[in-house]
Amino acid sequence: MKAFKNISKIISTIISYSCLIILIIIGLIFTVYIVDVKIQQSKGGIPKPLFGAYVIISGSMEPNIHVYDVIVSKRTDTTELKEGDVITFYSNDSRFYGVTVTHRIVEVIDAEKGIFRTRGDANNVEDDALTIGENIIGKVVMRIPQLGRLQFFLASKGGWLIVVLIPCLAIISYDIVKIAKLTSKKASTKKQLKTNSNKTKNK
């Protein structure tokens, strides 16, 4: 029983510190993001994150990037981009205007102005509209297979319940039980002291 209590205490401590660390990291990332956006706005540019993560929802980049993969794009100067690079950008196509797209550069038309021709690896033809520099979010530097499934799961009611609510309830329940045990122990100690005091008086 004592071993179980020790294990429960260790698990509770780990969870508490993990939550605190995660909150601190999120806070730091958010702060860096805000500062970065403010700097870009002061320069008159369209705010783009230094790093951005995006879930792939179409098969246009198969077999190299699959649906539900998460790609990480890094903000990159257009002069550094070359043919073969995979980039994330806002589509300039009238049919999908403003939609975030991740495709491969198949032709560099004007690197200085950031004009490129792109195509999905699974597509037989190039994208109808050229990609322009101001619409380019960044160059893909990392792919995390199927992580997007987790995002969709967390976005669902069931996922939120399992991942957020249940652990919180477990921690609260553990704290309630711990407080109840401490209260019971104090009451027992007080009763024992009173009994010992009465015995001393009777002597």
- What pLDDT, in 10s, does the model give residues 137-193? 999 999 999 988 887 777 777 776 776 677 777 777 777 777 777 777 776 776 666
24 alpha-carbon distance from chain centroid: 14
Domain that holds residue 109: 48-144
Backbone angles phi, psi at 195, to 5 degrees: -65, -45
CATH no. for residue 138? 2.10.109.10
Q: What is the DSSP code (8-state) at residue 98?
A: T
Give the containing element (helix H, strand E) for 201: helix 166-202
Residue 132's pLDDT is what? 92
Residue 63's pLDDT is what? 94
Residue 31's pLDDT is what? 76
Residue 185's pLDDT is what? 74
- pTM comes to 0.63
Q: 48 near 61, Cβ under 8 Å?
A: no
Residue 172's pLDDT is what? 77
One domain for residues 52 and 140: yes
Residue 151 lies in a domain: no
Separation of alpha carbons 53 and 87, rounded Å: 12
One domain for residues 108 and 130: yes
pLDDT < 50: residue spans in the chain: none
Separation of alpha carbons 190 and 62, rounded Å: 71
Which residue has 């045990």 as its token pair? 181
